[in-house]
Amino acid sequence: MHTGYQDFADIRFMPAFVDKSMFIKTVLDSDVRLLITAPRRFGKSVNISMLKHFFERSPDEEVMEKNRKLFEETQIWKCSEIMREHQGKYPVIFLDFKSSSTISSLQTARDVLASVGQKAFLTHEYLATSDDLKDHEKEKVKE
C-alpha cells in the first residue's frame, strides 16, 4: 500500500482504512495544549488533516456535505452529540509548509510564511461579513 497520502479525504474510503476518528474526542476532552509527535510516516499529517475536515466550517454547502460524509460509519459518527456540537462549526487555520519552496534565506522564509498565511486566511474570507464576529474582529479579517 502506498504510504504517501497526507490528506484524510484521500484515504478514508480505502479498503485498509484504520479508523482513528476517536482521536477527535481525545482532542475535545483535553483541557491542555497538545503536542503531537511521532516518527516519520506515522500518520501525523493524516491525523491533523482529519481534525481539519472534522472541525472546518465552510460557506460552501458542498464542502460541508463532503466533510460530513467522510465521517459516516466511523467511530466518532456514533458520538452523535459530538457530531452535532462540533462537526463543521469552526474556522480552521491550517498552515501547510510541505509544498513550500526551499528556504535559503531570511527573505525567502518571510515570503513563504506570508504566502502560506495568506492562503490559510483566504479560506475564511466569509468571516469578514459574518454575524459571528464583532466589528473590530471583522476589520482584522479584512486586513
pLDDT tens by residue, 31-52: 888 888 888 878 888 999 999 9
- pLDDT more than 70, % of the chain: 96
φ, ψ at 107 (rounded to 5°):
-65, -40
Q: Hey, how many other C-beta atoms are within 10 angstroms of the C-beta on 51?
A: 18
pLDDT digits (tens, 9 = 90+) for 6-28: 899 999 999 989 999 999 999 99
Mean pLDDT computed over every residue of the chain: 88
pLDDT at 1 over 60: no
Q: Which residues contact 24 (CB under 8 A, 6 or more apart)?
A: 50, 51, 54, 76, 82, 86
Residues in the chain: 143
Work out the burial of residue 78: count CB atoms within 10 Å of its CB; fewer than 13 is exposed, 13-18 middle, 19 or more buried. Answer: exposed
Lowest mean pLDDT among 35-49, 61-75, 97-111: 97-111
pLDDT at 4 over 80: no
Question: Quick one: pLDDT at residue 100?
Answer: 58
pLDDT band per the 50, 70, 90 thresholds, residue 128: confident
φ, ψ at 73 (rounded to 5°):
65, 20
Q: For residues 64 and 88, is the Cβ–Cβ distance under 8 A?
A: yes
